[in-house]
Structure 1
Amino acid sequence: MPKAQIGWVLFDKNYIMQEPFDITIGDTDYAIFPEGNDTYVVFKDGKEYAQIQKDTESTWLKLDPETALPLFEENEEINAIGKEIMAYVPEVEEDDEEAEEEE
């Protein structure tokens, strides 16, 4: 069975999904919930804000809340959120460090 990276949850042998995490841009906090296939649900100030999808390395698309189809309009906030998602590195928990040292 393949080993999962820290911060990832193994659902079966072939599918690994990242755990939710938080980012901050300026004074705004966002909770990020990965859905797979470069798609994320974003909560802003504790409320569901948007579903976004990676388009290119620097361009992210907001998905229509009713149809889940991409909205092809430039959105600086969505691109900034996407940039932070790509830069996010999961924190290593002490229990995970101890387990790795024992191996």
Structure 2
Amino acid sequence: MGRRILNEALRTIVNAEKRGFASAELNPVSNVMASFLQIMKYRGYIKDFQVHDAHRVGKITVQLLGRVKDCRAITYRQDIKADYLEKYKTRALPTHQVRVVFAIQ
């Protein structure tokens, strides 16, 4: 299995939304992907999802609503402690000021 499973799954969802499909099939299955889809369902970005045969390679069928415009994942995952979360966000994620600098130039 590849290391960018979540990123590939999110790109599949975005591409299916752009083409106007009602559902998308994601494979292989991971627990992180299922947790992320649960959050997307809770916030109203997808209608529902079903995990088929999770103990093997399996697949996930996602029912789409048409609300996802763009969605990406950071291509690597790091285990960090909760105490260092704010420090990590300010160091690793891009700032809002970057857009202003590029707009001026």
Task: Tell me which protein shows more strand as a share of its residues.
Answer: 1
- Same fold flag (TM > 0.5): no
TM-score with structure 1 length normalisation? 0.28
TM-score with structure 2 length normalisation? 0.27
User: Which has more radius of gyration?
Assistant: 2
For CA contacts below 8 A with separation 6 or more, give which structure has more relative contact order: 2
Task: Tell me which protein shows more helix as a share of its residues.
Answer: 2
